[in-house]
Amino acid sequence: MRQHMRWIVGLIWVCGGAAQVLAQAHAPQDGVHVGQMSMMRKLIPSGALEGQAAQQYVQTLRDAQQKHALAPDNHPQVIRLRAIAKKLIPFALPWNDRAREWQWQVNLLSSSQINAYCMPGGKIAFYTGILDSLKLTDDEVAIVMGHEIAHALREHGAERAGKSLAANLLVKGAALFAEYKGYDGRTVAGLGGVGANLAMLNFSREDETEADIVGLDIAARAGFDPRAGVALWQKMGMINKKSPPKWLSTHPAGADRIAEIRKHFPEVLPLYAKAKGWENGVLEPYRSNVKGLEVVQ
């Protein structure tokens, strides 16, 4: 029985790994390299999530407007966010052919939440909490926005939905197989569900890391300092002292993210220097706007 349990949980993990088979690459040839997009996203009809996201975005804006929480077009922060997005979006398009058809939108919602997102289809929203609490510079806003755009470009929503669908089918199949062999199908389904949940958490952390890397590339090409990513996560660490254990979190630990960001400096700093018209060897250190943060070389 125990051997069957290990096989079932292992199969769920293999399912995720096997999903990384070849898919058409869209990424630029220089800059960062993150491999192919998962074929698991193909289990969800193309564009289905984009239509759902558009409807949800409209409803979100409508609800916010009724609560007087939707910032007007002439709000200084809205103008700022849209100006940054205007610089980023042209460098996002090469990562996904569908992005050229998206009706991009950027809006600001009044909320203390430290959050921002980009829905499938290019629907971007920032909360005032992330701008105010972290005192984000333009470079740091670009890192956040690039990260969220990268999730949409790499179709992480469709990928996770596809993996979840496959995992559920595997668990149900394993339970039926166990019953055929004379075991308790409900117990097998329960254990398989635990394995599937842990696997999906790992997939989410992988998506977060990929979005960090692709976001750095996009921001650097648009002329925003990718070293702001280090300052961003240092700021996040200052206000997020308590967090779940890494293996039960959908996000990598802050120290891990900073290390991963630094690892890609050799790839993205030349892009940033080129965008600014500077020689790569003469970049000034990045200095954020909060005391106590290290200067990033």
User: Is the separation of the CB atoms in 80 and 42 below 8 Å?
Assistant: no
Residue 179 among the catalytic residues: no
What is the layout of strands, in order, in the sheet containing 105-109? 105-109, 123-127, 116-119
Residues 6+ apart with CB under 8 A from 211: 147, 148, 150, 151, 154, 156
Q: Which helix (H) or strand (E) holds 108?
A: strand 105-109
Coil, strand or helix at 284: coil
C-alpha dihedral, 26 to 31 to 33 to 39, nearest 10°: -20
Q: 79: which 2 tokens?
A: 């103008």
| Exposure class string for 20-41: b at 16+ Cβ within 10 A, else e | eeebeebbeeebbebeebbebb
Which among 50, 140, 148, 210 is annotated as catalytic? 148
- Give the distance, in angstroms, between the CA of residue 139 and the centroid of all CA atoms in the same chain: 18
Active site residues: 148
